[in-house]
């Protein structure tokens, strides 16, 4: 059995500040298989970006991985020395950030930036790398790539720049792409194109994709599975149809109520009252308890561990069969 | 691009006319120029003749137009103290000042950039902290004090370097250079350091701040996510983006380097325009003072223009906004 492309086990991330230690990620586990798209949703501050940065090894001090393991195709990568994780970045894991307008160095032609990346990870010659850069630009849908390769970033629209960023992320044929809100900064009209481009590239190359987004509509359309994050934990994870149509976690239920497009049946926008606790003031027990409509005594003292329900895994005391027996199981 | 250059050139000429008015009015506020030229026992009739021959009885506007027209052809009249055309005196002295200013600027740029980059990349190292401390001293110590300290150490105590003058110079046409003789080069060292030290600390602090800023940008984070080597990120990406504003500031500072050369030239008895100006002030030699003012502002304005154009060459974003007028 081949291992999943990405396997995260009990990951913990801390930020050491002058006053205290903030636990941004509190023991999350998930897998992404070859060719699979995992959507990651959650409110601002839930820890989605921090998870992506931890995987690719770009957490900067004061942030650090405080526990758990990260495996890439069976190889443990969370404790590699900087130079070795550097070789994995861009080669085996491609990253796409939110803002294409600022992701490219304004002083260099896009072709130079692509060639530079290709040549960092392969031993292609300048000419061969340039040829590959043109092919990549064509693949991500830049018209007249042999001309546009010599243009500067500011000569492209936002959507076109995000395509260039995607070309840069896939230029060494990575096994995993982490896309952190790749369309949030773009015009609504081009968002769908970029999302379908990422999905197509993932399918064509068998790449695993971790797609962070606020947009449940995007998740429903593109993801195979979805992870709902809350306060540095995964509240619920499972196949996208199951989680969208039959959310188990009270927070996920609230979120799904907030999708207007779902099956066209329910057009209400449900707001979950309250806001996510700050990292310095996470309540004891279930972090969602101050906002939860189903809260009961145990929620305020004991932290819920993920339990498997069908194809979903949910961290909520409502689903505890008996305390602590299925707690060690993680999402499949 | 052409329109942009033209617009900047017109602005530059405007500035020069304004400075021309100021330097012209110096003649009128510093007393009757005729008195400077004639001796005490000259008769009133003779004084009138001199006044007429100098055109001093024409309307002010005519006098200014004539003055500015002459100045535009680098004719600045005759020095009261030397009885020689001011333009000859300036041409004699200019190479000394320019060589000093250029050496000081190169010194400031090279060390300022090196030290700035180092302190940005090794922020916590002892050396970086030392640079920061030294730069505070460099900014707060007056130039003449630095010059005197350097003379005391390297000329008086150690006897390694000359304490005054330009050393032996070589004549190349009207230009005299100290760069081709050993004594000329040795003589350049202390004055260049003295003059460049302030710029050095300025550039170092600017490079450090700018580089730290650039290292926080999204494109640097993305460059790291692309797996580029630290070296490529620091010296390929971050440094180039850092240098764009640094070039501008360093370039613009060249004008003030020339202006501040007055102090350094006085301390080191450096035979440049600044020393000439100081002597002119002592002797109320208005033609020299006025001409110096005009020359320095001409240099300022030219540098501004060049820096603006250079900026557009380095930064492709500006290049296209300028060539495509909005
Ligand atoms: N450098 C840092 N120092 C301290 N805390 C940090 C730092 N970076 C992130 N955090 C904290 O980690 C938590 C998770 O942040 P993260 O950026 O992953 O959120 P997110 O889910 O991506 O939110 P968004 O939707 O706004 O992008 C937040 O509470 C944030 O305050
Ligand atoms: S554990 Fe309790 S508070 Fe938390 S989501 Fe479940 S019911 Fe609500
Ligand atoms: Mg984020």
Mean pLDDT of B172-181: 80
Assess whether pLDDT exceeds 60 at residue A329: no
d(CA B97, CA B265): 8
Check residues B185 and A261 and name the one with the higher pLDDT.
Answer: B185
Contact A111, A149 (CB under 8 A): yes
Nearest residue (CA) to ligand 2, atom 6: A316
Question: Which atom of ligand 2 approaches the CA of A293 most closely?
Answer: 8
Q: In the structure, what pLDDT confidence band is assigned to residue B214 with cuts at 50, 70 and 90?
A: very high
d(CA B150, CA B196): 13
Q: Out of A12, A20, A23, A24, give the residue to mutate to test ligand 1, the one with the largest number of ligand atoms within 8 Å of its CB.
A: A24
Could you tell me what percent of chain B has a pLDDT over 70? 94
Check residues A270 and B15 and name the one with the higher pLDDT.
Answer: B15
Q: In the structure, what pLDDT confidence band is assigned to residue A268 with cuts at 50, 70 and 90?
A: very low
Contact B66, B265 (CB under 8 A): no
d(CA B158, CA B176): 29
Question: Taking CB atoms and an 8 Å cutoff, what residues of chain A touch B227?
Answer: 86-91, 117, 120-121, 172
Find the range with the poorest average confidence among A153-167, A209-223, A298-312, B141-155. Answer: B141-155
Q: Cis bond leading into A40, ω under 30°?
A: no
Question: Taking CB atoms and an 8 Å cutoff, what residues of chain B touch A106?
Answer: 219, 241, 315-317
pLDDT tens string B129-174: 898 888 888 788 888 888 888 888 888 888 788 877 787 777 887 7
Mean pLDDT of A236-248: 92
Contact B313, B251 (CB under 8 A): no
| Of the partner residues A102, A107, A117, the one whose CB lies closest to the CB of residue B226 | A117
pLDDT of residue B31: 65
Please choose, from the candidates B161, B224, B156, B158, the residue with its C-alpha nearest in 3D space to the C-alpha of residue B192. Answer: B161
Looking at every residue in chain A, the average pLDDT score rounds to: 87
Determine which of A107, A117, A152 to mutate to test the interface with B (most B C-beta atoms within 10 Å): A107
The ligand minimizing its distance to the Cα of A42 is: 1
Question: Taking CB atoms and an 8 Å cutoff, what residues of chain A touch B226?
Answer: 89-90, 95, 117, 120, 168-169
Tell me whether A105 touches chain B (CB under 8 Å): yes
Cβ within 8 Å, pair A106-B241 = yes
Q: In the structure, what pLDDT confidence band is assigned to residue A9 with cuts at 50, 70 and 90?
A: very high
| Helix, coil or strand: residue B78 | strand
Helices (H), chain B: 2-29, 33-37, 44-53, 60-72, 86-121, 126-140, 143-150, 182-215, 218-225, 230-231, 239-267, 273-282, 286-314, 316-323
Which whole-number Å values give the CA distances from B154 to B148, B149, B161, in the listed order? 10, 9, 6
Q: In the structure, what pLDDT confidence band is assigned to residue A256 with cuts at 50, 70 and 90?
A: confident
pLDDT tens string B215-257: 999 999 999 999 999 999 999 899 999 988 888 788 888 888 8
> Which strands form A63-72's sheet, in the order they lie side by side?
A21-32, A6-16, A63-72, A75-76
CA of A318 to the centre of ligand 1 (A): 28
pLDDT of residue A325: 45
């Amino acid at each position: 059995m081949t291992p999943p492309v990405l396997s995260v086990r009990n990951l913990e991330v801390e930020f050491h500040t002058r006053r205290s230690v903030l636990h941004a990620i509190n023991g999350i586990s998930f897998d992404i298989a070859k060719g699979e798209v995992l959507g990651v949703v959650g409110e601002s501050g839930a820890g989605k970006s921090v998870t992506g940065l931890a995987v690719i090894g770009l957490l900067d001090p004061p942030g650090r991985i405080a526990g758990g393991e990260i495996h890439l195709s069976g190889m443990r990568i969370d404790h590699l020395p900087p130079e070795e994780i550097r070789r994995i970045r861009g080669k085996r894991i491609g990253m796409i950030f939110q803002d294409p307008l600022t992701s490219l160095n304004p002083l260099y032609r896009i072709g130079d930036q692509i060639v530079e990346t290709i040549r960092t990870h392969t031993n292609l010659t300048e000419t061969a790398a340039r040829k590959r850069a043109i092919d990549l630009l064509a693949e991500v849908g830049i018209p007249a790539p042999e001309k546009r390769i010599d243009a500067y970033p500011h000569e492209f629209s936002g959507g076109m720049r995000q395509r260039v960023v995607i070309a840069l992320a896939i230029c060494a044929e990575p096994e995993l792409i982490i896309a952190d809100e790749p369309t949030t900064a773009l015009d609504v009209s081009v968002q769908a194109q970029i999302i379908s481009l990422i999905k197509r590239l993932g399918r064509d190359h068998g790449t695993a994709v971790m797609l962070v987004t606020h947009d449940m509509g995007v998740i429903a359309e593109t993801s195979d599975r979805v992870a709902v994050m809350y306060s540095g934990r995964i509240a619920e994870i499972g196949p996208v149809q199951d989680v969208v149509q039959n959310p188990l976690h009270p927070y996920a239920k609230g979120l799904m109520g907030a999708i207007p497009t779902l099956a066209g049946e329910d057009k209400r926008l449900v707001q979950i009252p309250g806001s996510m606790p700050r990292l310095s003031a996470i309540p004891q027990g279930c972090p969602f308890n101050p906002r939860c409509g189903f809260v009961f005594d145990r929620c305020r003292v004991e932290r819920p561990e993920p339990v498997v329900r069908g194809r979903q895994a949910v961290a909520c005391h409502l689903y505890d069969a008996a305390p602590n027996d299925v707690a060690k199981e993680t999402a499949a | 691009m052409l329109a942009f250059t033209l617009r900047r050139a017109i602005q530059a000429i405007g500035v020069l006319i304004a400075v021309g008015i100021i330097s012209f009015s110096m003649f009128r506020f510093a007393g009757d120029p005729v008195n400077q030229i004639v001796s005490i026992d000259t008769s009133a009739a003779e004084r009138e003749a001199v006044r007429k021959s100098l055109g001093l009885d024409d309307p002010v506007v005519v006098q200014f137009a004539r003055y500015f027209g002459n100045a535009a052809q680098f004719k600045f009249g005759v020095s009261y103290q030397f009885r020689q055309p001011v333009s000859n005196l300036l041409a004699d002295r200019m190479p000394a000042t320019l060589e000093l200013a250029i050496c000081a600027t190169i010194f400031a740029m090279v060390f300022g950039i090196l030290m700035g980059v180092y302190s940005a990349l090794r922020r916590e190292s002892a050396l970086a902290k030392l640079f920061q401390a030294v730069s505070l001293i460099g900014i707060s110590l007056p130039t003449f004090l630095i010059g005197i300290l350097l003379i005391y150490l390297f000329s008086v105590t150690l006897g390694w370097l000359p304490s005054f003058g330009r050393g032996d110079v070589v004549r190349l046409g009207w230009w005299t250079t100290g760069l081709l003789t050993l004594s000329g080069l040795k003589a350049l060292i202390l004055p260049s350091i003295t003059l460049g030290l302030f710029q050095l600390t300025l550039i170092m602090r600017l490079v450090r701040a700018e580089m730290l800023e650039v290292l926080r940008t999204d494109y640097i984070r993305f460059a790291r996510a692309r797996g580029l080597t630290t070296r490529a990120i620091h010296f390929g990406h971050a440094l180039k983006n850092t240098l764009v504003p640094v070039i501008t500031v360093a370039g613009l500072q060249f004008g003030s380097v020339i202006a501040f050369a007055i102090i350094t030239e006085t301390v080191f008895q450096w035979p440049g325009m600044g020393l000439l100006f100081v002597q002119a002030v002592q002797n109320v030699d208005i033609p020299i003072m006025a001409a110096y003012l005009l020359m320095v502002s001409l240099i300022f304005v030219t540098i501004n223009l060049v820096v603006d154009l250079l900026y557009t060459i380095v930064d492709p974003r500006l290049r296209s906004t300028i060539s495509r007028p909005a």
